[in-house]
């Protein structure tokens, strides 16, 4: 399907969001987008990632909006095509692990919640599964399948959409009085966080998870790309998005930026990457107390450093949550407690505040048991390995984006946000497919993207 049609759908959605509530028109738009996805999965994914970063009312329950139905449409459209031609999906470990996690979290996770707590709780668990973990795996599998077929457009649209979201969020942070008086206000979350940047998503930490995708790609383009104008554009965009990440005052932003820098420089010159890794760790350890003190003085509240203590209040809450998740796992290690059971059971296991473990890997162990937990770790390792093996600077950028996201998932809850997952797993999935295509189909066009991926200096 023509890119002009995809652009028309994205623009129409943005106009609808900016001009108020239109329930009937919104439903018609969604039905039409699902029809497009049925005819052309690549166009369906392009439309999804084009609108993904922006805030949207959850009109179908506590977790679902209309665009989540497009995820189901994509799953049906791509799934039917894979059933008709199984060889169109690459036989790789990340694909196998993603399918296994999809099945386990649905059967052991959502299924257990239905069986244990009844229809109401089970249905709520199912909606959060689609909006979060399940939707993320669907997007990853569809994107990998499309990349294996030589389609790279969804990846670039995802990067553009996340970049625009980051730019508008930064503008909203710097000029709130101006931005909140414009129609684009409807695209930004109503909830603000004072000193901390949020904007497109009502969570500073989730904004970090969203922005690591374009930051990883632009960092790779800046250091490894050959075209001068691409490097200049990457430098400008990288500076703005990195500033936006730092203005969230999320410590995971610093860790993610550091990891991306090490990966990119390691690929450029291994010695330089090694020096940055060791030197950065040493400097980070040395200045951490001063940084925490300065951060606490700016943010105040739970972020303030109490004299005589190393951890701040939010750190102690996270550790409490990690301990609660660990006890949940040990109490039922084989099957876990059920998908999103932490929200329900956390007070019983010692966390009466957060309601979320703030660690997506511990959540898998706690909610779906030891097999899912091990698969979650394998998920990160196999994707990182395959992205590292793929050729070209874009692959390194996608690796940095994925590792950055995985770091944020170790301290926060990005799986809760389709706004993040649609971007991250489209970028990672398309690149996984393209990388495997280069191995399995060496005679196929090596670079179907609009920007040369193989140009590594």
Instruction: Convert the pLDDT of each residue in 178-236 to its tens digit.
Output: 887 888 888 888 888 888 999 899 899 999 999 999 999 999 999 998 888 999 999 99
C-beta separation of 75 from 145 below 8 A: no
Q: Which ranges of 300-369 does DSSP label H, i.e. alpha helix?
A: 313-331, 341-345, 360-368
pLDDT at 20: 77
Residues 6+ apart with CB under 8 A from 190: 55, 202
Q: Is the model's pLDDT at 351 over the cut of 50?
A: yes
pLDDT at 307: 67
C-beta separation of 362 from 325 below 8 A: yes
Q: Looking at the DSSP assignment, which residues form a beta bridge with residue 193?
A: 196
Distances (CA, A) of 302 to 113, 308, 346: 34, 15, 21
Segment 15-64, tens digit of pLDDT = 988 887 788 898 999 999 999 999 999 999 999 999 999 877 777 777 78
C-beta separation of 383 from 377 below 8 A: no
Q: Mapping DSSP to helix (H, G, I), strand (E, B) and coil, where does residue 193 land?
A: strand
Assign 453 a pLDDT band (cuts: 50, 70, 90): very low
Q: Looking at the DSSP assignment, which residues form a beta bridge with residue 196?
A: 193
d(CA 162, CA 398): 14
Per-chain mean pLDDT for the chain: 90
Burial 83-108 (b: 16+ CB within 10 A, else e): eeeeeebbebebbebbebbbebbbeb
Helix 41-51 vs helix 66-84: angle between axes, to the nearest 10 degrees? 150
Query: What helix, strand, coil percent values describe the chain, rounded to 5?
Result: 75, 0, 25
d(CA 38, CA 142): 13
pLDDT at 457: 33
d(CA 147, CA 273): 29
For residue 329, what are its two tokens?
């796992």
C-beta separation of 148 from 90 below 8 A: yes
Segment 287-316, tens digit of pLDDT = 888 888 888 888 777 677 766 666 777 888
Q: What is the mean pLDDT of residues 86-110?
A: 94
pLDDT at 310: 63
Nearest partner of 268 among 276, 257, 279, judged by Cα? 276
pLDDT at 447: 47
Q: Is the model's pLDDT at 399 over the cut of 80?
A: yes
Distances (CA, A) of 205 to 53, 60, 129, 261: 14, 25, 20, 20
Helix 251-268 vs helix 393-411: angle between axes, to the nearest 10 degrees? 150
């Amino acid at each position: 399907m023509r890119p002009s049609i995809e652009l028309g759908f994205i623009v129409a959605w943005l106009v609808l969001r900016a001009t108020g509530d239109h329930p009937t028109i919104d439903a018609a738009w969604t039905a039409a987008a699902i029809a497009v996805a049925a005819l052309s999965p690549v166009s369906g994914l392009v439309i999804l990632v084009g609108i993904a970063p922006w805030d949207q009312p959850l009109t179908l329950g506590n977790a679902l909006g209309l665009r989540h139905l497009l995820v189901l449409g994509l799953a049906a459209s791509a799934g039917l095509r894979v059933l008709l031609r199984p060889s169109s999906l690459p036989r790789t470990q990340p694909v196998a692990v993603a399918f296994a996690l999809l099945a386990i979290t649905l059967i052991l996770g959502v299924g257990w919640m239905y069986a244990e707590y009844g229809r109401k709780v089970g249905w709520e668990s199912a909606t959060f599964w689609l909006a979060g973990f399940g939707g993320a795996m669907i997007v990853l599998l569809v994107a990998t399948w499309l990349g294996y077929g030589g389609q790279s457009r969804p990846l670039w649209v995802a990067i553009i959409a996340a970049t625009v979201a980051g730019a508008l969020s930064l503008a909203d942070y710097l000029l709130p009085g101006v931005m909140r008086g414009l129609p684009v206000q409807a695209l930004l979350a109503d909830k603000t966080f004072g000193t901390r940047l949020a904007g497109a998503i009502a969570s500073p930490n989730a904004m970090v998870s969203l922005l690591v995708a374009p930051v990883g790609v632009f960092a790779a383009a800046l250091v490894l790309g050959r075209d001068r104008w691409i490097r200049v554009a990457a430098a400008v965009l990288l500076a703005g998005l990195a500033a936006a990440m730092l203005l969230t005052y999320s410590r995971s932003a610093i860790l993610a930026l550091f990891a991306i820098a090490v990966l990119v420089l390691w690929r450029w010159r291994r010695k330089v990457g090694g020096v940055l890794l060791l030197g950065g760790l040493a400097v980070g350890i040395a200045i951490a107390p001063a940084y925490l003190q300065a951060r606490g003085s700016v943010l105040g509240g739970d972020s303030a450093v109490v004299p005589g203590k190393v951890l701040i209040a939010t750190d102690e809450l996270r550790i409490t949550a990690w301990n609660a998740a660990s006890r949940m796992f040990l109490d039922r290690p084989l099957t876990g407690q059920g998908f999103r059971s932490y929200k329900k059971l956390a007070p019983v296991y010692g966390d009466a505040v957060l309601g979320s473990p703030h660690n997506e890997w511990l959540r898998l162990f706690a909610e779906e048991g030891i097999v899912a937990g091990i698969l979650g770790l394998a998920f990160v390792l196999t994707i990182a390995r395959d992205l590292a093996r793929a050729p070209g600077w874009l692959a390194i950028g996608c690796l940095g984006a994925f590792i950055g996201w995985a770091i944020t998932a170790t301290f926060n809850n990005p799986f809760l946000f389709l706004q993040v997952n649609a971007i991250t797993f489209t970028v990672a999935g398309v690149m996984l497919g393209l990388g495997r295509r280069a191995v399995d189909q060496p005679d196929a066009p090596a670079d179907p993207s609009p920007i040369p991926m193989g140009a590594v200096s």
